Structure 1
Amino acid sequence: MKDCTVYKTMNIIGKRWTIHILLELHKGEKKEKRFNELKRKLGYITPKILSERLTELEIEGLIAKKVDDSIKPPKSEYYLTESGTDFVKIIQAIKRWGLKWKFQNEECERAICMYCDH
C-alpha cells in the first residue's frame, strides 16, 4: 500500500481543512488571499492548523506564497498553483457526486463554486 498512488495522494489532501483551504483560495475574483482572510472565511479553523496546512500545501506544490517585504510588517498572500487549480476540478467533481447521491440543494446546483458565499 505504501506505493499506492491513491493512498499517497490522500496523505496530501485528506487532512482536515485541506480541501476547504483550496476551495477558499479558488473562490472570488481575487486570486491571492492573506492568512487572516482565509481564517475569517473558514470560521472555526485554528491559526495553528491553518498555518500547518498552508505550509504543507506549499511544500506539496498546490499553493504558493507571495511575500512583499517592502512594507512593515511584510505582507504574505497565498494563491493556487497550476497543480492546485487543477485539483479544484476534483473538488467540483465531489460537489457533483454529493448533489447526485447525497444532498438536494438547488441553490448549490445552480451556483458556481468560485462565486459561492457558502
Structure 2
Amino acid sequence: MARRKVDPRECSLASALNVVGEKWSLLAVREVFYGVHRFDGIVRNTGAPRDVLAARLRTLVDGGVLRRVRYSERPPRDEYHLTQAGRELAPALLGLMRWGMRWVPGAPEGPTVFTHECGGPLDAGIVCAACGEEAGAADLSVPDNGPTANGT
C-alpha cells in the first residue's frame, strides 16, 4: 500500500490552537475572564485534573495569553491574569459560547461574560474590515488559495 503524503495546511489558526486549542486551556481562560485568578479556584470551576491544568497554565503563560503574578512568597503562590493577547480572545470565547448554546443540545447558557457600557450583553460577530458591515454565515467565503491539504 502506497503511503499518502501528509502536507498539513499551515495557518494562524493552527498556530493559535497550539496555545489555546485544548478544552482545559479555554476553560482556564474563561475562569480568568470571570475573575478567578488562583489555581485552586480554576481547578474547582473547571473540573480539570490538577496536573493537566498546571501544564495548560504553563502553556498559556509561555504563549503570552496569561501572566503569572506572585501573591505569596511562603509558600510560593501565583495568580493568573490576562495579558492583552488573552483579553483579545474575548470574541473567540463569546463565539464558541454562542455556538454551543445554539448547536449543542442541553448546553447551559452560563453567565454573561462581557457587557457593553450601556449594560447590555456583548455578542461575538463577524464584521467586514473594509466596510464595517456585519456578515452572517451565508456571507462568508474563502478565496481560492490553491490545492487543499488532500490535493484537490
TM-score range relative to shorter protein = 0.7 to 0.9
Normalising by the residue count of structure 2, what TM-score does the alignment of the two structures yield? 0.61
2:17 to 7, 10, 14: 10
Q: CA deviation at 1:103?
A: 4.2
Partner of 2:85: 83
Normalising by the residue count of structure 1, what TM-score does the alignment of the two structures yield? 0.76
Residue pair 1:65, 1:77 contacting (<8 A) in 2 also:
yes
Query: Between Structure 1 and Structure 2, whose CA radius of gyration is higher?
Result: 2
1:34 to 31, 38, 48: 38
Partner of 2:53: 50
Residue pair 1:2, 1:8 contacting (<8 A) in 2 also:
no
Relative to total residues, which structure has the larger helix share, 1 or 2? 1
Aligned residues between the structures = 108
**Secondary structure at 1:66 match in 2:** strand
**Secondary structure at 2:55 match in 1:** helix
**Secondary structure at 2:89 match in 1:** helix
**Which structure 2 residue ranges, 5 or more long, are not aligned?**
1-7, 115-152
Partner of 2:31: 24
Residue by residue, what CA displacement relative to the aligned partner does 1:66-85 show, whole Å, maximum 9, x if unpaired? 0135x411231111111111
Partner of 1:112: 112
Q: CA deviation at 1:99?
A: 2.7
Compare 1-10 and 78-87 and name the one that shifted more.
1-10
Residue by residue, what CA displacement relative to the aligned partner does 1:55-108 show, whole Å, maximum 9, x if unpaired? 000000000000135x41123111111111110220101112223334476x72
**Which structure 1 residue ranges, 5 or more long, are not aligned?**
none
- The CA RMSD over aligned residues, in Å, is 2.5
**Secondary structure at 2:69 match in 1:** strand
Higher RCO structure (Cα 8 Å, ≥6 apart): 1
Quote the Cα distance in structure 1 between the aligned partners of 2:30 and 2:11. Answer: 25
Partner of 2:76: 74
